[in-house]
A = this chain, B = another copy of it.
Amino acid sequence: MPVNLPAPNPAELFPIAGVRIGVTEAGIRKANRKDLTVVLIDEGASVSGVFTQNRFCAAPVQICREHLAGDQGIRAMVINTGNANAGTGADGLARAQQTCVAMASRQGFTAQQVLPFSTGVIMETLPVDRIEAGLDAAIADAKSDNWLRAAEAIMTTDTAPKAFGTQVMLDGALVSITGISKGAGMIRPNMATMLGFMATDACVAPSLMKQLALELAEGSFNRVTVDGDTSTNDSFVVIATNKAAHKVIDSLSSPAGQALKAAMLGVAQKLAQAIVRDGEGATKFIAIKVEDGQTQAECRQVAYAIAHSPLVKTAFFASDPNLGRILAAVGYAGITDLDQTGIHLYLDDVHVAVKGGRNPAYREEDGQRVMKQSEITVRVLLGRGTAADTVWTCDLSHEYVTINADYRS
């Protein structure tokens, strides 16, 4: 059961003019399961993406980078589950490329105009014949209100679909934004999550798209972690179809640029947090805020050290206010000149540690009360500056071990 993850609200999953989505069962790993999704994009859209920093990045990630750099205009995406096509060498690259060729030949554009995405088990051969065999059915299924079905079709160990949308007025025109994501384990996105897709009908100058995608990822997917394992396949793609009736946005700092970015960031954060709420075995959603640091980077480093500590995560699972474990993680986060006597620790509103030691006023029952909640904020004050950062994570439960000990069997 995800932690306070709202079911997608169909009324908020706005069709985006210029984007149609189709889904089918291609039998890639298991039968009777929607596992192939195509996204058809009208000519004239601006598309950008950010991808995993994992050096063992999957074949489709390598192809996506090439095709986006090729600048021929992206016209379609093909997304399969059941197989990550990662750790598959030159053969994997050829199979990802073959997927693009098969899609392009059916639609009359070039292979360079197709982006492939794969997610699932690593180091197994992609059954590209099954993808090819499924393409026609997926294309025939394509329509603009298929976002929810796509959110379902890209799930792997996810227990619930993740889809959010919003609308915003830009220069008097109503603009829609809709996005989906998937992911539950192997989650410590470093540029993007397993898979995240967002589209808007807003008009955005192509030259701005890379910056927009990066800034959205930085404020959302790059702030979540389940298990600290950065995936081989992380991909986050932003599509602006340029169909809305407003002037093209040519700067993210213009009023319209700021409004669009804020609206899109809201959706991106919900999509990213949804992954943590559905984190493998998660029973709690935890925001870790680190403040008063010298730099944002060191605040993030401390937040991730806390978020990745198995001891901290199991204490949250147990609702045990064994909060010294948080201080220990702060201490080993890698700030070599950190002075422990400047540290304060809060659990929600409870002031646990003062100047590196236990707060004399702290009572175990107050810590216990907060630890029992399903949503918890950990706040660490470093006492050495004015920078801050936040990371979202979940606890580590028996269910995490069960899921990952059984995933392939």
List residues of chain B with CB within 8 A of the CB of A327: 56, 86-87, 122-123, 232
Interface string of A116-147 (1 = CB under 8 A from B): 00000111110000000000000000000000
Residue with the greatest number of chain B CB neighbours at <10 A, chosen from A53, A87, A121, A309: A87
Interface string of A357-370 (1 = CB under 8 A from B): 11000000000000
User: Contact partner of A332 among B55, B92, B322, CB < 8 A?
Assistant: B55
Interface string of A272-309 (1 = CB under 8 A from B): 00000000000000000000000000000000000011
Size category, A interface: 35 or more
List residues of chain B with CB within 8 A of the CB of A228: 308-310
Interface flag for A30 (CB, 8 Å)? no
User: Contact partner of A310 among B227, B330, B331, CB < 8 A?
Assistant: B227
Residues of A7-25 contacting chain B, CB below 8 A: none
- Nearest B-chain residue to A314, judged by Cβ: B404
Residues of A373-409 contacting chain B, CB below 8 A: 396-398, 400-402, 404-409
Residues of A328-371 contacting chain B, CB below 8 A: 328-333, 335-336, 338-341, 343, 353-358
Q: A44 CA to B232 CA in the complex, in Å?
A: 57
**Least CB distance, A315 to chain B, in whole angstroms:** 7
User: Contact partner of A125 among B91, B229, B320, B358, CB < 8 A?
Assistant: B358
Q: A309 CA to B54 CA in the complex, in Å?
A: 14
Contact between B55 and A335 (Cβ–Cβ < 8 Å)? yes
List residues of chain B with CB within 8 A of the CB of A125: 358
**Least CB distance, A36 to chain B, in whole angstroms:** 21
Contact between B122 and A328 (Cβ–Cβ < 8 Å)? yes
List residues of chain B with CB within 8 A of the CB of A185: 311
- Nearest B-chain residue to A333, judged by Cβ: B55
Interface flag for A6 (CB, 8 Å)? no
Interface string of A138-181 (1 = CB under 8 A from B): 00000000000000000000000000000000000000000000
Contact between B229 and A358 (Cβ–Cβ < 8 Å)? no
Interface flag for A261 (CB, 8 Å)? no
**Least CB distance, A3 to chain B, in whole angstroms:** 17
Given contacts A56-B330, A331-B56, A335-B55, contact A320 B405 (CB under 8 A): yes
Interface string of A195-218 (1 = CB under 8 A from B): 000000000000000000000000
Interface flag for A104 (CB, 8 Å)? no
List residues of chain B with CB within 8 A of the CB of A232: 324, 327-328, 331
Interface flag for A323 (CB, 8 Å)? yes
Contact between A311 and B186 (Cβ–Cβ < 8 Å)? yes
Q: A345 CA to B178 CA in the complex, in Å?
A: 41
**Least CB distance, A92 to chain B, in whole angstroms:** 7
Given contacts A332-B55, A396-B401, contact A89 B358 (CB under 8 A): yes
Contact between A341 and B89 (Cβ–Cβ < 8 Å)? yes
List residues of chain B with CB within 8 A of the CB of A314: 400-401, 404-405
Interface flag for A64 (CB, 8 Å)? no
Residues of A53-111 contacting chain B, CB below 8 A: 53-57, 84, 86-92
Q: A15 CA to B197 CA in the complex, in Å?
A: 67
- Nearest B-chain residue to A323, judged by Cβ: B123
List residues of chain B with CB within 8 A of the CB of A37: none
List residues of chain B with CB within 8 A of the CB of A229: 309-311, 325, 328-329, 332
Contact between B335 and A404 (Cβ–Cβ < 8 Å)? no
Interface flag for A220 (CB, 8 Å)? no
A-B contact pairs, 10 of them (CB 8 A): A55-B332, A56-B330, A89-B355, A123-B323, A123-B324, A123-B327, A123-B358, A232-B328, A318-B405, A318-B409
In order of increasing CB-CB distance, the 9 nearest A-B pairs are A89-B357, A122-B324, A56-B331, A318-B405, A123-B324, A314-B404, A230-B332, A54-B331, A55-B338
